Amino acid sequence: MDRPAPDTFATKTDAEQWLVKIEAKILADEWIDPDAGKIAFGKYAGDWIDERPNLRPRTVELYGYLLRRHHADLRGQGPQRISR
């Protein structure tokens, strides 16, 4: 996923150093999306399924069923904070 840097940098070196730090956090599973919690769970889950073209049709069907069945519990609560 492409995401713009939060600021501009004085030099290209500064920007590259910032990027290396962020990439290290991502690889260490320590990075937290600053937009986390701003998306509704149903949209997130639907997008997650759509972004996985290698899922078997039966798996997509099952996930859709589970989402429809259990997502009702979250309706009306607004965006959900999603974490691993």
pLDDT tens by residue, 23-67: 999 899 888 877 776 777 778 888 899 999 999 999 999 998 888
Question: Quick one: which of 28, 30, 31, 29 has its CA closest to 3?
Answer: 31
Burial class (CB in 10 A: 0-12, 13-18, 19+), 28: exposed
Cβ neighbors of 84 (< 8 A, separation 6 or more) are: 29
Tell me, yes or no, if the pTM score tops 0.95.
Answer: no
Q: Tell me: pLDDT of 3 over 90.
A: no
The 3-state DSSP composition of the chain as helix, strand, coil percent (nearest 5) reads 50, 0, 50
